[in-house]
Amino acid sequence: MEQYRLAKSELKSFLELLKEDYQKIIGPGVDEEDRSIFKEITNINDLKLEKTLPLKPPKEFLFPQKDNLFNFSCKENTIEINVKDTTEKQVLFALRPCDLTAINYSDTFFKNNLLDNYYSQKRENTLIIGIACEYPSNKCFCTSMDISPASSNGADIFLTNGGSFFLTEFISEKGNLIKEKLKSILTESVQEDNSLKEKIDKNTRSLLLEEFNLKKVRENLEKAYTSEDTWKKYSDACIVCGACTFDCPTCTCFDVNDSFLEKDTGIRYRTWDSCSFYNFSLHASGHNPRGRKVDRLRQRIMHKFNYTVKQFNLWSCVGCGRCIAVCPVGINTRSIVKDFEEALNEDK
């Protein structure tokens, strides 16, 4: 893996060179109310790197909240289908390790599990540039999920803040393909740069709040399945808004609908769905195996910390804390897991 220095004064040139090959650059910025979000960066001043994690994850740029799949028309006993063009190339810029890990999970779900052409085409046309995390929020718990705040896993190119420069690592084949174009604004790294990631990792870990023992939780969570009183302590407060799942970078559930635009033409689209919703598991017969809120909250937690580990050997929680931040009634995923960890420890 080759690494170089990118002077911060050259960041504008860096983005301009990327734009020669990629139509859009999506990165952290702010909205009109100064909230940190991922948005299209059209000007270097739009980019805000010294903010906490954007509240909405970047998954919408690979798996849109509403995605028009194709148009159809019915004419003279034939059906014509026009598939949406997904060839636009984009850069996801300055993604932190939690979001890099989330995309690794989505890749497994959408590409290695059953191939989803819509996701995979967007993914193929996306360059991912990660950045070491220096500004965690008080909701973050990535280290509990075995993710280093300076992990480059999942990035094509990875940046680490070195003060007046970014240490720039070219990791994947896709990243190395664009390296030659960028070399004119890069300089050689020096020996002391090798400790930058370790320093950021150590400092960011010191800013995080309490941690839990993930291995112990994984080993014992199934025993907690029938501990309904503990689940209900959280589910009773739930108002079934779905914010925790919509703002989760690894939630992949969706619904598919057809809508007629005119008598003989229409569109097929998919939208995000949520296991928190009553109708999500409702059968055509009227039976609902997860008709109670407690059943649905338990399903979400078991899925994140148990089921996907069995299926993919991957956690489907990355410790970003977004579900905690957006919950209007204060349900805290970290507290739920710690409750079960401590209860199970007491049982031993």
Copy the structure tokens of residue 157.
């190119």
Chain Cα centroid distance, residue 267 = 28
**What φ, ψ does residue 82 adopt, rounded to 5°?**
-115, 110
Q: What is the pLDDT of residue 21?
A: 94
Please, where are the H alpha helices in the chain?
Answer: 11-19, 97-107, 117-124, 173-177, 179-182, 196-207, 214-220, 228-235, 243-246, 293-302, 308-312, 322-326, 333-347
Beta strands in the chain (DSSP E): 2-7, 24-30, 36-40, 66-75, 78-83, 90-95, 126-131, 157-161, 165-170, 186-188, 254-260, 265-272
Question: Nearest CA to 116 among 40, 64, 56, 174?
Answer: 64
Q: What is the pLDDT of residue 77?
A: 82
CB 339, CB 298: distance < 8 Å:
no
CB 189, CB 5: distance < 8 Å:
yes
Tens digit of each residue's pLDDT, the chain (348 residues): 789 999 999 999 999 999 999 999 999 999 988 889 999 999 999 999 988 899 999 999 999 999 999 999 988 888 899 887 777 999 999 999 999 999 999 999 998 878 999 999 999 999 999 999 999 999 999 999 999 999 999 999 999 999 999 999 999 999 999 999 999 999 999 999 999 999 999 999 999 987 888 888 877 788 888 888 889 999 999 999 999 999 999 999 999 999 988 888 999 999 999 999 999 999 999 999 999 999 999 999 999 999 999 999 999 999 999 999 999 999 999 999 888 877 655 554
Cα 259 from Cα 71, distance rounded (Å): 10
Written as one letter, the residue type at 74 is C
Cα 21 from Cα 346, distance rounded (Å): 57
Q: What is the pLDDT of residue 345?
A: 56
Q: What is the pLDDT of residue 138?
A: 93
Cα 316 from Cα 108, distance rounded (Å): 11
pTM over 0.85: yes
Written as one letter, the residue type at 221 is L
**What φ, ψ does residue 95 adopt, rounded to 5°?**
-85, 135
Cα 222 from Cα 92, distance rounded (Å): 37
Q: Is 56 left (phi over 0), alpha (psi -120 to 50) or beta?
A: beta
Q: Computed over its alpha carbons, how large is the radius of gyration of the chain? A: 22
Cα 201 from Cα 31, distance rounded (Å): 29
Cα 29 from Cα 329, distance rounded (Å): 27
